[in-house]
């Protein structure tokens, strides 16, 4: 899915009305994930966040949501998925 398709599908909109791109949401979610799991590699964090943002089941309920809430939810979901992977 391209950036434009992702924007049109999910419409993560700021309070000023600007629709965020997936890369913008990912950048902030990766930064938040870095503080949640500082011992992970940058590649692992970025991959985990991108998997979450590309997951239709996760993103379905977030259409039209403010970016800060999506960033927080994506970082937490990525953290939980990474921890489940480690335990498996």
User: What mean pLDDT is predicted for residues 33-51?
Assistant: 95
What single DSSP character describes residue 13? B
What mean pLDDT, rounded, does the chain reach?
92
Give the separation between CA 41 and CA 3, rounded to whole angstroms. Answer: 25
Do 66 and 28 contact (CB within 8 A), yes or no?
no
Q: pLDDT by residue (tens digit) across 60-74?
A: 988 889 999 999 999
The reported pLDDT for the residue numbered 88 is 60
Q: Six-digit token pair at 70?
A: 């999506």
Domain ranges of the chain: 3-87
Q: pLDDT by residue (tens digit) across 2-29?
A: 899 999 999 999 999 999 999 999 999 9
- Judged by DSSP in three states, 19 sits in strand
CA 46 to chain centre: 9
Q: Six-digit token pair at 24?
A: 């913008």
Give the separation between CA 70 and CA 42, rounded to whole angstroms. Answer: 20
């Amino acid at each position: 899915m391209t950036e434009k398709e992702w924007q049109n599908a999910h419409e993560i909109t700021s309070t000023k009305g600007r629709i965020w791109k997936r890369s913008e949401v990912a950048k902030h979610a990766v930064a938040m994930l870095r503080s949640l799991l500082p011992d992970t590699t940058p590649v692992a964090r970025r991959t985990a966040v991108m998997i979450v943002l590309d997951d239709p089941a996760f993103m379905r309920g977030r259409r039209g949501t403010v970016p800060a809430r999506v960033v927080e939810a994506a970082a937490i979901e990525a953290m939980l998925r990474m921890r489940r992977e480690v335990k498996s």
